[in-house]
Amino acid sequence: MGEIKIYGYVRVSSKDQNEDRQRIALHEMGVPETNIYIDKQSGKDFERPAYKRMVRKLKSNDLLYIKSIDRLGRNYEEIQNQWRILTKEKSVDIYVIDMPLLDTRRGKDLVGTFLSDIVLQVLSFVAENERTNIRQRQAEGIAAAKVKGVKFGRPALPYPDNFREIHRDWRNKKITLRQAADACRMPVGTFYGKARKFENSTYINCGQNL
């Protein structure tokens, strides 16, 4: 039997999310920094290149640490499938730091394996259900805020002092759209959008178009 190596896997859901909490937990378990694999991706991207590289390196009886069960996948089916691949096909041991009951080194007999499988199924279901609830609460919160008039996104830039004059010259075809945008120090799309908004508000307030 070759030397048993220890690995750790970290996954965060976006490039802005900090992975330090997971990394520190892995260090505390004795995982070498060189054996920690980290993936950062958006919700739409689940390619996980670091995870795939790690799985290729894993050998039979190696030990993999993860902070929580949902690091293995986005939903119940995915978590179950990755657990099966790692423990059955790769014969790797897994230790879930947040749930010490999920330690495949313990209870390798039939009863121990049965209990571990039950805990895994419950936790992976809970992880998926919690993510669904979070998304629902976020959607409900945004909807409620919109009803109250809360606006999301970056605030609109104010009109520059010369906007009315530049807008008039552009509409009178004295200057091009590009020249108008440059004069207002705006991208062309921004100038055009503001021009339409300006015209609509002027029409409403004055009862006539410019």
**Closest C-alpha to 71, from 37, 118, 105, 101:** 37
Among 107, 92, 37, 111, smallest CA distance to 67 is for 37
Residue 144 has φ and ψ, to the nearest 5°, of -65, -40
Is 42 in the active site? no
List the end-to-end C-alpha distance of the chain, in Å, as a whole number: 84
Select from 17, 98, 110 the least CA-distant residue to 65.
Answer: 98
Residue of 13, 14, 116, 201 marked active site: 13
Residues 6+ apart with CB under 8 A from 75: 128, 131
Q: Which residues, in sequence order, are bridge partners of residue 66?
A: 9, 96
Q: How far is CA 83 from CA 28, 101, 110, in A?
A: 23, 15, 17
Longest dimension (CA), the chain: 86
DSSP-derived 3-state class of residue 113: helix
Catalytic site positions: 13
